[in-house]
Each structure stands twice: as C-alpha cells, then as structure tokens.
Amino acid sequence: MATTDAADITEEETEHIRERNCVVENENVVSSIDPKEMRAVILAGFGGINKLRVTKKTMPEPQQGEVKIRVKACGLNFVDLMVRQGNIDNPPKPPLIPGFECSGIVESIGESTQGFEIGDRVMAFVYYNAWAEVVCAPVDYVHKMPDKMTFQEAAAFSLNYVAAYMMLFEVANLREGMSVLVHSAGGSVGQAVAQLCSTVPNVTVFGIASCSKHVAIRDSVTHIFDRNGDYVQEVKKISPEGIDIVLDCLSGENTGKGLGLLKPLGAYVLYGASNMVTGETKSFFTVAKSWWQVEKVNPIKLYEENKVIAGFSLLNLIFKQGGCVRLKTVMDNLLFLYIQGKIKPVIDSLWALEEVKEAMQRIHDRGNVGKLILDVEKSPTPLMASDSTETSEAGEEEEDPEGDIDNKERMPFIQ
C-alpha cells in the first residue's frame, strides 16, 4: 500500500505510534552529540510544572507510510496542561513526550510512503511526541506549508484553525448574518474563530476575555466582554434575541449560560473543559466533581426550546475516532484562506524547549494573546542559565505551586 489510510488507523495503532516514538530515555548522554539522539521535553509523571524537563532521547525512524520531520516549532495548547495534570480521558502512561502539533522539514521518508519529498516544509498533527527535535508521523497527518508561511505560524495553525473551522462550518453551520459568542477570545482558538467569522459576510462576534487582553484583541471581534463580569446580561442588552452559535472551552456554569443565550435553532458547542484545570496537581476528586457538576441536559427541553448542544474534541476525532479522513478538505480550505491573506495565526510568544515550564505557566495564567510556540532552535533567555530544567529531576512527589516566583522572573519573547 502506497499510503497509510487514515480511516484504518485505530486507537490502538495511534497508541502504538506514540509508544514507538517515545523511545528509551538515555539519561547519561545529555551533553553528548550523537546523531541518533535528539532533545525532547519529557513529562515524567502527572502533576505540576516540575514534572517537565528537557532530556536526550533516541531519535525515532519513520515506518511505512510515515515521514520523519526535523522539527522547527511546536504548538502549545491548553490541552497540554490537562495532559500534564492527567486530566484527560484515558491518559497514556508517563514518562511521555507531550505535544500534539509541530512544523519542520521532512528529513527522511518511510518505505512505500508517497506524497512527500525530503526537504518539504510541513506541519503535522502528532499523537503526543511533538515537543522534540524529531518527530515521525503518518502522511495523512502531515500537510505541506504554503511558501510564505513561517514555521512558527505553521506550528500555530493545525489544531486551532482546523478546530475553529470544523466547529463553525461543520458542527454549527455558520452562515451569513449570524452571531457567534466565543469564550477565551484572546486565546489561539478564539483568535482563529474571530478570523474565520470575518470570512463570512455580516457575522457578529461576541468575544469574552480577561480585561487585560481587551486592547490587544478588540479589533478582532465586534463586541468584547470581561470574563469576570456578567456577560450574559451585557450580551442580552446588545442582542436580546440571542446568539446563533456559542463556542465554550470552559464548561462548568458557562454551559447553562451559553444554552440560555441561544436563539431558537442556535448551537452551543463545548470544545474544552479548561475550568477543570484548577492550577493544582491532578485530583481525581476535582475532576469527578467537575464532571458531575456539569449541568446535564434534558433532550425534551432542547426540543421545546429548539436548541442544539454539541461537543467537539479535535484530538479525539482525529486520533481515536478515525476522523483523520476529514482533515484534507478542511486543511485545503484553510490554506486557501491563508494564501488569500484572510486568516493568519496570531503568535503570542516564542519559547525554547527548556522554557516549557514558563510557557505553560503563561497559558495557565491566561496571560497569552494568541499562540505560544516552542521554538526548537531558540536558546533559553539568559535568565535561564541559573535555572536549567535539564538538571531538574523527574518523579518528584511534591508539587510546586504553579505561580512560583522563579518562573515569573523570566520574560517571554513576545513577537
């Protein structure tokens, strides 16, 4: 078979791919230069940011249907925090290399693998293992980058734009004249949503974000509200008839509020549950409590009120549910919009692999506007010298508080 058929990749197989990429750690050669080795971020166990460190690992080699990518940049997403804490469904067993997306250059090609050549600039969805100097991925998860796209943009593109596109156009059926409310409007998905909404005539975007981001993002949305304020009342003042599409990555009490704001035939889409991340280490009881506190929905109430509630998890869709086959058309449409200049990833900041803790802290604190990128070729900032994560130990049982002082001393490189 010339190419790997994505529809045939089962959950077991993606798990196998993950495990194969995650080769045996070689602790004793951190400083050596071995062409068979690579630097990678390791999550030693579920918990706080001190479970993360950079180490050397044996480089993976591409199997049939795969390409090997020399990674230039990786995307950092809120879901990576949830992985770190173990707050996801069926988490893999640590130690593991986190990360679900990257960009880079094709370095070699597996047997019977078609569609790519060595030297191609690509972006890839990866089932873990993205935060490393080298990644192998099945070709159906790899897409060529447009010439004018930077590696940083490419690492910011795959997950967020595909998620925003599929939610708006495949789940919720966005059309001319509609209104969209998006939580975390300053985040990377929020910014992708706002840009995609602007490609449809006469769409009104209601963005919810921390006040500190309002100046930075006010041009990307029609109306903006403080996440700590009573956004429901403020939205109703502007749009008493309600909203057509609500996109919520928070869950919790926002689910009931979102459903309440919908117009008849409106759709509430839950695409994350970041309210489950409390800033502490994994807690079964925290997760269980969050789960049960979510308001359950009675289908007959939806019937009487003419409402739609949807859940959307792109990672589950493409890595566990065979949804990879849908990626090509979506990515083609998105790259066309990118080439036309209608969409363009907003990069919040660039970080060295060794700065992953600080980068995660920034996402946790919701300090970012747009995407955080791990730039594989970037050196840590000078302040890093006295605080190398390479020397930190895995497997510590005690947890640092997330906002410890050391981490706040290093400023990110803001574009």
Interacting span for a second copy (CB under 8 A) from 17-25, 117-125, 264-272, 363-371: 264-272
CB 148 within 8 A of CB 137: no
With CA atoms as reference, report the closest residue to 401 among 88, 47, 46, 95. Answer: 47
At residue 250's C-alpha, the angle toward residues 247 and 256, to 5°, is: 75
- x/- contact string, 8-37, with a second copy (CB under 8 A)? ------------------------------
Does residue 253 interact with a second copy by CB under 8 A? no
Token pair 């058929």: residue: 5
User: What's 306's DSSP letter?
Assistant: T
> Judged by CB, which is closer to a second copy: 114, or 306?
306
- Please report how many Cα atoms fall inside a 13 Å half-sphere around the Cα of residue 204, on the Cβ side: 12
Residue 277: phi and psi, rounded to 5, are -85, 110
Q: How many CA atoms lie within 13 A of 381 on its CB side?
A: 16
Scanning residues 106 to 135, which ones bind a second copy (CB under 8 A)?
none
Q: Which stretch binds a second copy (CB under 8 A): 79-87, 318-326, 329-337, 345-353?
A: 318-326
Is the Cβ of residue 297 or residue 384 nearer to a second copy in the bound state? Answer: 297
Segment interacting with a second copy (CB under 8 A) among 23-31, 115-123, 319-327, 362-370: 319-327
271 binds a second copy (CB under 8 A): yes
Q: What is the spatial distance between Cα 182 and Cα 367, in angstroms, rounded to a whole number?
A: 17
x/- letters, 272..311, toward a second copy (CB under 8 A): xx-----------------x--xxxxxxxxxxxxxxxxxx
Residues 271 and 211 sit within 8 Å (Cβ to Cβ):
no
d(C-alpha 390, C-alpha 392), whole Å: 6
Q: Which residue type, as a one-letter code, is found at position 317?
A: L
Nearer residue to a second copy within complex by CB, 311 or 401 = 311
Q: Smallest distance, Å, CB 393 to a second copy?
A: 34
Residue 339 touching a second copy (CB under 8 A): no
Q: Give the shortest CB-79-to-a second copy separation in angstroms.
A: 12
Q: Are 254 and 246 in contact (CB under 8 A)?
A: no
With binding defined as CB under 8 A, does residue 317 bind a second copy?
yes
Question: In angstroms, what CA-CA distances link 294 with 258, 285, 303, 314?
Answer: 13, 14, 20, 21
Residue 241 C-beta: closest distance to a second copy, Å: 7
Instruction: Provide, rounded to whole angstroms, the least separation between the CB of residue 334 and a second copy.
Output: 17
Which stretch, 71-79, 142-150, 266-274, 376-384, contacts a second copy (CB under 8 A)?
Answer: 266-274
For residue 266, the minimal CB distance to a second copy (Å) is 10
Can you read off the two tokens belonging to residue 110?
A: 């597996």
Residue closer to a second copy, measured from CB, 177 or 395: 177
The two tokens of residue 310 are: 């949807």
In this chain, which of 312, 319, 338, 351 binds a second copy, going by CB under 8 A?
312
Residue ranges in 345-404 that form contacts with a second copy under rule CB under 8 A: none
- Using alpha carbons, select from 72, 104, 161, 130 the residue that is nearest to residue 345: 161
Shortest distance in whole angstroms from residue 363 CB to a second copy: 19
Rounded to a whole number of angstroms, the minimum distance from the CB of residue 343 to a second copy is 22
**Of residues 278, 271, 239, 235, the one with CA closest to residue 255:** 271
Q: For residue 104, list its beta bridge partners.
A: 71, 122
Count of residues of this chain found to bind a second copy when the rule CB under 8 A is applied: 42
Counted residue by residue, the chain has a size of: 415
CB count within 10 Å of CB 281 equals: 20
CB atoms within 10 A of CB 126: 28
Which residues in the 132-191 window bind a second copy by CB under 8 A?
A: 166, 170-171, 173
Judged by CB under 8 A, the residue of 64, 112, 212, 321 near a second copy is 321
Which residues of this chain interact with a second copy, rule CB under 8 A?
89, 166, 170-171, 173, 241, 251, 255, 264-265, 267, 270-273, 291, 294-313, 316-317, 321-323, 326
